[in-house]
Amino acid sequence: MTMSEQAVNTLAAEPATAGQGTSAKRQLFRLLKEALFFCFLYCGYVQVRDFLLACLGRSRAVVLYYHRIGEADTLTRSPQQFREDLAYLRRKYECLNLRELSERLSSNKPLRKRLAVVTFDDGYRDNFTTAAPLLNESGISATFFVSTGFVGTERKFFHDLRALTEAADDNESTRFPKLTWDDLREMQAMGFEIGSHTVNHTNMGQSAAATVEYEITESLKMLQAELGEQASAFSFPWGKPEDISDFAVDVVKQTGYYAAVSAYGGVNSRGENLFRIRRLDVGNGQLSRLAIQARVAGFDPDFFRLKRKNRKL
């Protein structure tokens, strides 16, 4: 083998070596994160904190949100992951729906148990075909927030259009079918709560007043026309602080919703503002079981960074 051939072979091997090094670093980083989550969960801090909060009557109430149950991605937990999430919640929390939680928070009575609420946003059909049976199997209720203008249609959310563009196809795995009104009626008959996520999944912090009023009031009218008169809650699309204007919150109250939820992290306790209920994102299928459990138990650095910037949260 000549020196030039040796040089070519060496250069050809370098990318593989570099790739192996990057993979090893990622694996090490993943293991370090898992160790951190494990330490947070089992070092004793969570147990002592929750005991003291229970003694004070201010136990934590966590409201969790998902989008889809299916093939795991950043918006989708797999059925097995979701089953594991529910089993964890049953072991560690008293599970209820958002209406029941709101009644407890507003009563201002001492909270002696950790509480958990499962919610879903948008209105994907796998909420009915996959999530609802798993919830029933576990004996856990849930609240489903739907964008009423998408129900029973083939319309696609902006985030799904982006996913389709990246996938460069339109097969069943990326089509994301929506719930129908018949699905929602059956889910309601099963005991699940149905709430509003606007008509068109519109950002309530970046829209004109007339649009905000339409999206909030019309979605409730559509829910009541299809599902009957019922107490309903509202979920802000995107749900970050900049997506929730004071004007929109006032419209939600005046329209007759009993509560509204955000999506920027944090937990709740007695005396909470029912129109600023905090929720945790646990619907990322790329997060491990320990990562989800740590997040539910309070390992939420993104929220604490946000809170430092916005003291009103």
Instruction: Please tell me which residue, 175 or 242, carries the higher pLDDT value.
Output: 242
* CATH 3.50.50.60 at 61-309, yes or no: no
Give 301's Cβ-side CA count (13 Å radius). Answer: 4
Confidence label for 308 from pLDDT (cuts 50, 70 and 90): confident
User: Would you state the pLDDT for residue 12?
Assistant: 43
Round the CA-based radius of gyration of the chain to a whole number and report it.
Answer: 22
User: Lowest-pLDDT range, 158-162, 219-223, 248-252, 258-262?
Assistant: 158-162
Is the confidence at residue 171, as pLDDT, over 60?
no
Residue range 103-118: mean pLDDT, rounded: 96
Instruction: Read off the pTM.
Output: 0.90
The answer to whether 155 and 162 have CB atoms below 8 angstroms apart is: no
Summarised one tens digit per residue, pLDDT across range 32-76 is: 999 999 999 999 999 999 999 999 999 999 999 999 999 999 999
Question: DSSP alpha helices (H): ranges in 43-154?
Answer: 45-55, 79-92, 98-107, 126, 132-138
The answer to whether 204 and 164 have CB atoms below 8 angstroms apart is: no
Confidence label for 1 from pLDDT (cuts 50, 70 and 90): very low
User: Would you state the pLDDT for residue 8?
Assistant: 38
User: Lowest-pLDDT range, 5-9, 153-157, 307-311?
Assistant: 5-9
Spell out the domain ranges in the chain: 61-309
